[in-house]
Chain A
């Protein structure tokens, strides 16, 4: 009779197998949460569409009309919409994954399951919430006369790469936040800073001429992701190096994230 040693981690392949076995759970939880979220509002699920529309509206009002920073950018509204939505998706995935262990402490203490299910479920939830956002984004793109293009076949792959990156960072975040809740307080400011240096509101190409500084921007995965999306949606020119950098970032984030997360797997639910 084989006995397991408590607190010993399982092999990566076994862990992935267990994650797969929990796929139904990963999808069901965010679906339920989405349903519960807007149940107390008058407009209900219309908010899922209204929220992104209002966001873009505010940014367009401030940076498109009041103090225009749209130099060197055609179709500024399209440019802005893609940037804002893509950025916010990653921000949400990372923040929600980071908080997932703390929020679900009751569940962790109640039932035994691979804990990475929680950040993954948060990621799935944001992917679902992105559907109406994506629809709004596509309408804006079409409204400006950008017709569907072969590049649009890459929408799903780019979205998957983006979420692999965000989940990876979210796993690291969850691991740190389990011990130091300080991270939750810090994250909004990190994202605020990233928002302004990732070329969401302005075109980096028109601000930075120097090759050295352009290379520095490749170190910012959020810039890379936003650029890829713009290329896929409306063909804004993007170099091969941006693809490469994004791929490397995503793979790295996911691998480091998973191993950092698993290193403390058995203690989640404890006191940190």
Chain B
């Protein structure tokens, strides 16, 4: 137990000293039992400030230190490293007299409170135990879930740094949503042209194990040591043997809609989602194929000269141990059937933004031609409706972030295809905050003569071969009626439903939009609450390609930071179960947000220290009060409360 405590009160310029009488705080503390020395200084965190601590520890023979300054979130690390030179770092505590005191109280109250806070910290410190950090070994291999642009970027970054990556993709090919896009805003690059080199790089990278057409089905363990089970779904085609000659596809008699083309283009039961698919191989759609069982058709097998088709292929479960996980499961469009007010699904000439995107693509259902689906003719008047399902309390309250930009792009591309056509865009606000985005919008508005109408659409209905759109132009206050050939809905973006399943496996929270919840919205935007789990791309929130790529690289750098060490050092402020008195009621096991509390064979709970983040949820919930947090023991907290109250 600390017997000679030194108290260092920081002025923090005027941040603290402008409100708190710091000299009085030091004076009062000098009289307090256990305190051997107390002083104040301008900026404790400065080099001279740190040296003052060093000097006084030696001169005054201190065996513990309290810094009364800002939040421990700011400088605990700083001061503990100083103290580590002399004694156990857990003999150093901070009393927050800035955020919780000088910033929120007036002078008189603040000084009194500061004195109490520091005295309470003395009481806590006296109950502290000397602790040693916990070390956890690391499996330097990363699992990336989702093979869209975010997952691809993260995988490449980590693999380029020399570490192994397992990239798992649910679909037959990686590429994700970006592969479906025609051109990208604001530069109008061909989406596939800039994406496919990265896809190929993934396929060829010696450090990347690509597992497409696979799903993660189980995750256990903790940072450095996650045990993962991956289900490899049978393609019924040998990936290595397939030469992608296409003979099988020609032979296949089954025709169904292609999901990749938003089901607006046919494909066969044996298919390759798009020509540049990676891995480059055909896949048999189990649901559609006639030949699997009973064996009624074997036309593809007969046609295949490479002998790559194997109807007896079985699902396989692959087990891997990884040290870190990046979730990049991407997005879906908001359920279009919920947008009844816009008549989606009732009319062929009302389509979603992604359907329009495929229509614009040279490899899409129309070969890049813009048509009115009901007639096949070129639409002369197109209405684009932004915020379809976004910024709407009836649907999704948030902004989907990218719709303003891609709608402008859509309108522009439409005008390029149909120069004599008219395009209208209904919008609430234009949000163009990216680099060169505002200029792009201006260009679309001015050069392309697109009609931007500020207002929401009230009603859409069919009249003959036209779709009538009713809205209000809120800038002029006039009612607008447009008889359009085609209506394109800029659908809200939501996290994939699979994200929720993955999140459950990872014990990570998702919000109402199925987006993963980050650890801190500002300071830890790519981290999950549990260490070793990171987010990239639209799985975390709606974002455009540059943001998704940047976040992927950020997540990769977080993983590399972990892999740069041989062992993980972990704060030992973990929960400790009094096993003799544990009844095995299961409350802590049920609620631990990190899965750190586990039931042992004898029924009693045990804290896996490597997993525990020290949040204290279990200690608060234990109905027998048999769980204590190291250095936040009940006696310590009770004494602190006593001093304060």
A and B interact physically: no
> B: which residues have CB within 8 A of A?
none
